[in-house]
Structures are given as C-alpha cells and as structure tokens.
C-alpha cells in the first residue's frame, strides 16, 4: 500500500508540475525515481514534523500540491498545531501520508502506534480523513487526491494487505462503498474502515453459519462522512456494529454514532469494536494486538453474535442497563 501510494506520487508529479514530495527522514531510497527525475520538487527534510508541515503550507499557498510523508503518529501528533492552523485554517491542498496507521508498528511500542489519528484529524475543520482497505483502493484514492481542494490525511496500513476492493464498485472521496449486502431486511449492518473491512468480510462469512446475515458498508473516507449512505442502510438494520483499528474514543465509531444521533430519532442498537482506551501493554506483531483488542475476524464475529443475543434477550426499552459485553 505504501509503495503504491508513493509510486503514485511520482506518477502524479510527472503529470502535474504542482506536485511536490516532502519526507521527514524516511530512510534511503524512498521515491528515488522521483528524486532523480524531479530533484527540485523532491525534499527529504530532517526529523522536524512541525517544520515540514509548515513548509508544505507555504508551498501550497503559492500553488503547489505537497504530499508529505512520515510515520502516522508523528505526522498527526507532533505537528498537530501546524496541521490545524497552517493547513486546515488556510484550507490548503496538502496531503499527509501517515505510515503505520493503527497498530502496524506493534513491536515498536506505544510511541509508534497511531491509535488516535482518526480522532485528532477528524476534529479539525476542513480536514479530509482517509483509510483505504488495500493497495488497489490506495491507487484510486491517490489519483483523485490531486484535485481535492482540502487537506487530506491518508492512513497507510501495513502493506501486503489482501486485495478486497473492486474497480467496478467505483471510488469517490467521501462516498462509502457497500462491500456486502444482506439478502433480506433485519440484518446486521457492519460499518468499517481501513483493513478492518477485510476482517469484517471474513467475520460476516463465518456468521452465515449461525444464521446471521449482514451488510458491510466500507468507509474509506471517515471525514467527510457519507451520512446519506449510512442512514439508508441503518434504517433497515436490526443492529449496527462499527469496526476500526483505532481507539474507541473519538474515532470512526464515534463519528458513526454522531451521524446517527444527529439524523435519526430511533437508532438501532450500536456496538463499537476497536482498540481499548489504554496505551498498549504488548509488543509482538500487528495481529497480536488485534487479538488483544478483539479485532481478529473470529473475534469480531463472536462479539457480534453476543451483542445480537443480548439485544434479543432484552425487554423492550433498550440497552441502557444491560451487562457489559
């Protein structure tokens, strides 16, 4: 996904003289082809996120379209004020590409985990927040990013991620994609983002054997949120389950709940599946942290089944006093 993303920056630079690349000490050889072909539009700066983002703002103020790349948690946390003021307040077309979104850097510990990037970025006015599911979808996003008027935060996944997106589903920034449709009404509606869409597709398959049918709506764009798509599927759902590789505080699931509350008077029961509101206590691999947080496909299926059982066993009146799942 990262390779496709950066290769596409080079491709866009060939097409459009406004495209510049700024990295923050990314290691040798990154975008070497672009560096060779367009040295005046390739910048490898030091470890200075605040400066790099401000510099991108200055370039964008004079008509360039900077693609800025570094580790996700640094680009969102370290230069947050520059993102807020230099980019969002001025509404500049700068693209922030964050390596290792979520728990990709599991072995490196909590300093390198981007578990709050959606929350930090989506709270900013004018910011667009993206988490695609695979490399093919990344290519579609990158091509469209060229003419998007606002700043964009692009979360990168681990790489080598299973390809699940399809050309025929079409792609437009800000438009959710139905990845699976239930055969009848009264289904579980999964709303997912990033690579959790892949896990949820597998979870949905395993739930069929339990007699649970589901629709999956994939949000590669977290902001602006495609509320019309959400609402159109939510109306027919018996329950909604959000799945994200992000803290449950303030992230994608929170955005979904906000959209539901703001637009509906009666809301189906909602379960959020995501990372705990805690600094990680473990290392290992990304999948290890998925397992710790209940984000592996089978765990998503089991949590969903338990949630549906709980709903079914509740007296009418809701979930307010039910036990914690």
Partner 1 sequence: MPLDERSIYLRKLVIRGLAGGGRGHLGPAMSLIEILRVLYDDVLRFQPQNPTWKNRDRCILSKGHGCLGLYAILADKNYFPLETLDTFCKRDSILGGHPEAGKIPGVEASTGSLGHGMSIGLGMALAARIEKRDSRVFVIVGDGEINEGSVWEAALSAGKHGLDSFTVLVDYNKIQASGPTKDIQDLEPLLDKWRSFGFAATEVDGHDVGALRGVLTALPLAAGKPNAVICHTTKGKGIPFAENNPDWHHKAKIGSEEISNMISALDSYHA
Q: Is 126 in the site for partner 1 (CB under 8 A)?
A: no
Task: Please report how close the Cβ of residue 49 comes to partner 1 at its closest, in angstroms.
Answer: 8
CA distance 78 to 312: 46
DSSP character at residue 118: H
Task: Please report how close the Cβ of residue 126 comes to partner 1 at its closest, in angstroms.
Answer: 12
Q: Which is nearer to partner 1, 48 or 144 (CB)?
A: 48
Q: Whose CA is closest to 138, among 220, 68, 202, 70?
A: 220
End-to-end distance of the chain based on CA atoms, in angstroms?
Answer: 34
Task: Please report how close the Cβ of residue 56 comes to partner 1 at its closest, in angstroms.
Answer: 6
Segment 170-199, which members bind partner 1 (CB under 8 A)? none
Residue partners of 6: CB distance under 8 A and separation at least 6: 21, 30, 31, 69, 97
Task: Please report how close the Cβ of residue 127 comes to partner 1 at its closest, in angstroms.
Answer: 16
Q: Is 88 in the site for partner 1 (CB under 8 A)?
A: no
Q: Is 62 in the site for partner 1 (CB under 8 A)?
A: yes
Place of tokens 């592996």: 296
Residue partners of 34: CB distance under 8 A and separation at least 6: 9, 10, 13, 21, 41, 42
Dihedral (Cα; 172, 173, 176, 178), 10-degree rounding: 30
Q: Is 61 in the site for partner 1 (CB under 8 A)?
A: yes
CA distance 310 to 325: 9
Task: Please report how close the Cβ of residue 45 comes to partner 1 at its closest, in angstroms.
Answer: 6
Q: Is 219 in the site for partner 1 (CB under 8 A)?
A: no
CA distance 21 to 44: 8
Task: Please report how close the Cβ of residue 142 comes to partner 1 at its closest, in angstroms.
Answer: 21
Q: Which is nearer to partner 1, 2 or 78 (CB)?
A: 78
Q: Is 81 in the site for partner 1 (CB under 8 A)?
A: yes
Q: Is the peptide bond before 157 cis (omega within 30 degrees of 0)?
A: no
321: alpha, beta or left? (left if phi > 0; alpha if psi -120 to 50):
alpha
Task: Please report how close the Cβ of residue 62 comes to partner 1 at its closest, in angstroms.
Answer: 4
Q: Beta-carbon neighbour count of residue 161 at 10 Å? A: 19
Residue 19 DSSP SS3:
strand
Tokens of 116: 């709050």
CA distance 63 to 244: 35
Q: Is 59 in the site for partner 1 (CB under 8 A)?
A: yes
Q: Is 76 in the site for partner 1 (CB under 8 A)?
A: no
Candidates 77-85, 146-154, 198-206, 208-216 — which segment interacts with partner 1 by CB under 8 A? 77-85
Q: Which is nearer to partner 1, 47 or 108 (CB)?
A: 47
Q: Is 108 in the site for partner 1 (CB under 8 A)?
A: no
Q: Which is nearer to partner 1, 43 or 290 (CB)?
A: 43
Q: Is 43 in the site for partner 1 (CB under 8 A)?
A: yes
Q: Is 89 in the site for partner 1 (CB under 8 A)?
A: yes
Number of H helices, E strands in the chain: 12, 12
Q: Which is nearer to partner 1, 79 or 98 (CB)?
A: 79
Candidates 46-54, 101-109, 123-131, 239-247 — which segment interacts with partner 1 by CB under 8 A? 46-54
Interface ranges with partner 1 (CB under 8 A)? 20, 40-41, 43, 45-46, 48, 50-64, 66, 81-82, 85-86, 89-90
């Amino acid at each position: 996904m990262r390779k496709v993303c950066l290769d596409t920056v080079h491709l866009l630079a060939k097409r459009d003289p406004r495209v510049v690349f700024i990295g923050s000490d990314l290691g040798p050889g990154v975008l070497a082809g672009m560096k060779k072909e367009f040295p005046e539009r390739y910048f490898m700066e030091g470890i200075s996120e605040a400066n790099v983002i401000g510099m991108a703002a200055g370039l964008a103020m004079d008509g360039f379209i900077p693609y800025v790349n570094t580790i996700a948690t640094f680009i969102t946390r370290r230069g947050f004020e520059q993102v807020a003021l230099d980019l969002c307040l001025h509404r500049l077309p700068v693209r922030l590409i964050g390596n290792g979104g979520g728990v990709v850097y599991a072995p490196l510990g909590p300093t390198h985990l981007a578990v709050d990037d959606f929350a930090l970025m989506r709270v900013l006015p004018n910011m667009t927040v993206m988490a695609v599911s695979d490399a093919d979808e990344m290519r579609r996003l990158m091509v469209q990013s060229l003419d998007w008027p606002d700043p964009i935060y692009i979360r990168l996944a681990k790489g080598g991620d299973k390809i699940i997106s399809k050309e025929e589903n079409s792609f437009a920034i800000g438009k959710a994609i139905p990845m699976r449709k239930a055969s009848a009404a009264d289904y579980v509606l999964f709303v997912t983002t990033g690579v959790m869409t892949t896990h949820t597709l597998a979870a949905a398959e395993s739930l069929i054997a339990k007699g649970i049918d589901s629709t999956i709506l994939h949000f590669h764009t977290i902001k602006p949120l495609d509320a019309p798509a959400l609402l159109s599927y939510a109306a027919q759902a018996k329950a909604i389950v959000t799945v994200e590789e992000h803290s449950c505080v303030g992230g994608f699931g929170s955005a979904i709940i906000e959209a539901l509350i703001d637009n509906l008077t009666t809301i189906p029961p909602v379960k959020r599946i995501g990372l705990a509101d805690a600094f990680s206590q473990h290392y290992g691999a990304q999948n290890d942290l998925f397992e710790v947080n209940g984000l592996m496909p089978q765990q998503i299926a089991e949590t969903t089944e338990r949630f549906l059982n709980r709903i079914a066993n509740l007296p009418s009146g809701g979930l307010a006093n039910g036990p914690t799942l």
